Chains A and B, each alone.
Chain A
Amino acid sequence: MNPRTRHALEFVLDNLVWFMLLFVLVVFSIFIPNYFQLGIFANIIEASSVLGVMSIGLALVIIAGHMDLSVESVAALSAMAVGILFCSSGIGMGVQLHPEWLMVPVSLLLALAVGGLIGAFNGYLVVKVKMSAFIITLASYIWVRGLVLVVSGGRSAQDLAPAIRWFGIQRLIGLPLTAWIAIACFVIFSLIMARTPFGRHLVMIGGNETATFRAGIRVNRNLIIAFVLAGAIAGLAGWLLAIRTSGATANLGVGLLFNAFAAVVIGGVSLKGGVGTLPGVYAGVLLLSAINTAINLMGLPANFTQVIHGLLVLAAVLLDAFKQTIRQRLA
């Protein structure tokens, strides 16, 4: 094999999800009437912003060789905290700040802080007390959702302050600002993972924790930061969710965790750790969203979505194994 075909093949393997996304979009555009519209594509991006942001945090922790099942509940708690403070009806307290725009940074910081704190709690128990990330974050998944129910009393908050809502309404080049926030997150965290020592260290910790420890990398510190980031990013997802629904309900975001997992796996992140990139995860999120949109347009019952998502995850895992064999032959 000459170097050029080899390079081309490696490029395709590295970006396989993007090619899958392109393929799916082309097929849908050809066979589904009304699919090929800018509005539809904008909608695909818009609908994937909350899931996308949440997937970033999940992917960080999984790439570092761990697991965070709590992201969905953390997002819900952050959304509820923002909802209770800044919604004017339901259980909302309708807190007003002057000037009005001040509510934006305050609510955002609140959401990030709630998420970051729970992330720090998870990280401490997993890294310092050396408990299994699966169990710790499963526990957080349950108790944080419980906390959402407790603080809300099972009721909901509506009518988020217009100054915060503005992010969901104001559009820039056809996309609401919330979608741009998600895109910005992907760009920033992709750069962090690929271009900074911190990102490089996370990938290496996921690959061989012992080796990184022996090499003098501060493994514990890096891992705790990863958990805090995952929590804070989930908090941001909750903030976006509150904006999207203009409030918060007690069961807000239920089921997002499994979609996030699907997106991360489809995006080429290995649950074994150390493998995967964030652009791939974004493609995975968009792929799920593109398929949802197709199902809606075809008028299929929404129940089909889950079946298709499940099969897609299976396909992604099989594809990953297949990719490995090809790579081995390339080397």
Chain B
Amino acid sequence: MNEPLLVLDNVTKNYGAIEALKGISFSIGKGEVVALLGDNGAGKSTLVKIIAGGLEPTSGRMLFEGKEFLARSPAEAKAAGIETVYQDLSLCTNVDVVANFFMGREITRKVLGIPVLDERAMEAVVGKALASAGTRIPSLRTNVEHLSGGQRQAIELNRFVHWGGKLVLLDEPFAALGVEQTRRGLDMIRQVASQGIGVVIITHIMQQAFQVADRIVVIRQGVVAGDVARNKTSPDAVINMITGETLAGAGPAS
């Protein structure tokens, strides 16, 4: 494995007496795509939120680019170069496509020392980004509430591709996408990874994991139940890891 980008070392998360994560350890390399699999309630989304700054771990530590790392807020994670696409979409449906694309990172120009939104510049960037990804949206000035589920998800995906960063977390990003859009989404992930960006993708669909991932990490009941290279395993073996029937290839990353 090449240089690790993010290392998780025995990360735990308790909600009161409930141990959602009992000690997760694995690592993600630069330009590597890791598929995170596991049954409902296994702790995948909790883990993503901890990396993305939405939750603080109860114990354990993380190393990002070799340095101790803990994001206390999504803003901190973002500043460190971690982009996240959440399962329930993070779009403000009451504003237009451009405003969503630039949420929190608006292009401004100074007028009398006051930052003013540069709508034309932002619209140009969004138009280019969507066009190069092959996403068609009738008007970039339409409020997102009037767009379809697939169009919304496409905006989120294009957003992360555009902003890039160093590590991208995707929590079931293709739930609302059609076949063609999903294929394009998977291409996008490979393309992002080829730029040296680490990608963690949570998915329920085995086929997607095998299509896109370099490595497959299975979480079961708050621990890593399997961490294997994609070309050394099979969908059946992974399903067994998820349900806990076998412990083949089990154990945390060494």
Contacts and interface: CB of A to CB of B under 8 A. Distances in A.
A binds B: yes
Interface of A: 195-197, 200-201, 203-204, 206-208, 210-218, 274-275, 327-328, 330-331
Interface of B: 52, 54, 73-75, 78-79, 84, 86, 89-95, 99, 103-106, 108, 114-117, 142, 146-147
Contacts of A331: 142, 146-147
A204 B105 CA distance: 13
Given A196-B115, A204-B99, A216 B78 contact: yes
B163 to A, nearest CB: 10
Contact of A217 (B79, B104, B142): B104
A275 B146 contact: no
B94 A213 contact: no
Nearest to A192: B114
Nearest to B99: A200
A204 B146 contact: no
A214 B92 CA distance: 11
Q: Which of B75, B104, B108, B117 has the most A CB atoms < 10 Å from its CB?
A: B104
A195 B147 contact: no
11 contacts: A196-B116, A208-B92, A208-B94, A211-B90, A213-B73, A214-B52, A216-B79, A216-B104, A218-B75, A274-B95, A331-B147
A215 B146 contact: no
Contacts of B78: 215-216
A214 B95 contact: no
B146 A328 contact: yes
Contact of B103 (A195, A211, A327, A330): A211
Q: Which of A201, A212, A214 has the most B CB atoms < 10 Å from its CB?
A: A214
A274 B94 contact: yes
Top 7 A-B residue pairs of the complex, sorted by shortest distance between their CB atoms:
A331-B146, A207-B94, A216-B75, A274-B94, A207-B92, A211-B90, A215-B104
A275 B114 contact: no
Contact of B92 (A197, A211, A218): A211
A206 B95 CA distance: 10
Given A214-B74, A216-B78, 20 more contacts: A197-B108, A197-B117, A200-B106, A204-B92, A204-B94, A204-B95, A204-B99, A207-B94, A208-B91, A208-B92, A208-B94, A211-B91, A212-B92, A215-B103, A215-B105, A216-B74, A217-B75, A274-B95, A330-B146, A331-B142
Given A200-B106, A208-B93, A213 B74 contact: yes
A216 B54 CA distance: 10
A217 B147 CA distance: 24
A310 to B, nearest CB: 27
A196 to B, nearest CB: 6
Contacts of B115: 196-197
Contacts of A201: 104
Contact of A203 (B75, B79, B95): B95
B119 to A, nearest CB: 9
Contacts of B146: 327-328, 330-331
Contacts of A211: 89-92, 103
A123 to B, nearest CB: 19
Contacts of A275: 94
Contact of A215 (B90, B108, B142): B90
A212 B103 contact: yes
Contacts of B104: 201, 212, 215-217
Given A200-B117, A201-B104, A214 B94 contact: no
